[in-house]
Amino acid sequence: MNAATSGAGLLAFESGALCFDPARVLHPAQSLFDPGNPALKAAPVAVGGRQSAWFASGDFGSAVLRHYRRGGLAARVSRDRYLWTGASSTRSFAEFRILRLLHDRGLRVPAPLAGAYWKSGPFYRAAILIERIPGVRTLAEALEAPQAVAEAIFAMHEAGVWHADLNAYNILLDESNQAWLIDFDRARHGPVRAGHRQSNLLRLRRSMLKAAGERGLGCWEQIQRAYRQLSA
- Provide the 10 A C-beta neighbour count for residue 104: 12
From first CA to last CA, the distance across the chain in angstroms is 42
CA 212/CA 223 separation, integer angstroms = 15
CA 140/CA 154 separation, integer angstroms = 19
Helix (H, G, I), strand (E, B) or coil at 189: strand
Can 165 be counted among the known catalytic residues? yes
Active-site position among 21, 165, 174, 185: 165
Q: What is the DSSP letter of 34?
A: -
HEC letters along 71-120: CCCHHHHCCCCEECCCHHHCHHHHHHHHHHHHHHCCCCCCCEEEEEEEEE
Residues taking part in catalysis? 165
